[in-house]
Structure 1
Amino acid sequence: MNSDDALYDEQVVRPYVMTRGRTEARAKLDLITLAVTVRAATGVEVGLDPEHLAIVRLCRRPLSVAEIAAHLDLPAGTVRVLLGDLLHGGYIALQEPQPEADMLDERMYRAVLDGLRAL
């Protein structure tokens, strides 16, 4: 095995171990879903790994799934599973960003068309 193979194995196996082989989160989480800590973790809780604790610390202010993944240098899928664990344990709350406009509102489309015509 060369060094490239070892690096690849570490990158694939480590997230798999962190999620205990799970690939699906317990909740639907988009990359822009915001997570915020609602209950601190002391570090002695059963079932919380260092990555869980890092997420709880990071989310003292709301962060998106994508931001958490970037901070921890983990794949977004892995972060989604870990966030699902934390949500289930009551450590975090999730919030979907509010859409800027109702996409089914005809007035919004008319305003866009009017704006384009004015160009």
Structure 2
Amino acid sequence: MTPPPEWLDEEAGPIVRPYALTRGRAHSSADDMDLIAMVTAVGKTPRDPADIGPEQWRILDITARATSVVDIASELDLALGVVRVLLGDLQDQGLIRVRPPAQVAPLPSERILKEVINGLRAL
């Protein structure tokens, strides 16, 4: 007789598959969320606390201070796709605010780059 599959890993604790965390969804409203976008909990309580899973409660704790999407995934030790689905659910409920990454400085003009190259050649 084959032993039953183990649902508990001694080191990791209970094993929950990513599709169970996202209820089988692979996409959400947060799919286009940048990895370095800053996420902040707005401090509101959910309409129905039963709709929020333990991972999402943890996200709300983590984002009490602005935290990037990639840091949230690292902290939860979950795949980015799973974290984006969970964040999308929280965003749809108005529990988090997502701020896009800060605008980087504009690239130098072509004229400046040519002057630098010509200056280097002159050396």
TM-score by length of structure 2 reads 0.72
Could you say what secondary structure the match of 1:22 adopts?
A: coil
1:40 to partner: Cα distance? 4.0
Structure (1 or 2) with the larger CA radius of gyration: 2
> 1:46, CA displacement in angstroms?
3.3
- List structure 1 segments (4+ residues) > 4 angstroms apart after TM superposition: 115-119
Specify the alignment match of 1:100 in structure 2.
104
Unaligned runs of at least 5 residues, structure 2: none
> Is 1:45 aligned to 2:45, yes or no?
no
Structure 1 residue matching 2:52: 3-state secondary structure: coil
Q: Which residue of 2 aligns with 1:25?
A: 28
Letter in 1 for 2:20: V
Give the whole-Å Cα distance in 2 for the aligned partners of 1:53 and 1:116: 57
Contact 2:39/2:68 (<8 A) preserved: yes
Mapped partners of 1:112, 1:74: distance in 2: 45
Query: Residue 50 of structure 2 aligns to a residue in which SS?
Result: coil
- Report whether the alignment pairs 1:78 with 2:59: no
Structure that is richer in helix per residue: 1
Count how many residue pairs are aligned between Structure 1 and Structure 2.
112
Once the two structures are TM-superposed, the CA of residue 39 in structure 1 deviates from its matched residue by 2.2
Contact 1:38-1:91 at 8 Å conserved across structures? yes
Percentage identity across aligned positions? 35
Q: For the residues of structure 1 that align with 2:114 and 2:66, how far apart are their CA atoms? A: 31
Task: Show the counterpart of 1:67.
Answer: 71
CA spacing shift, 1:95–1:115, aligned 2, 3 Å = farther
Q: Which runs of 5+ in 1 are unaligned?
A: none
Task: Say if 2:73 and 2:83, in contact at 8 Å, map to a contact too.
Answer: yes
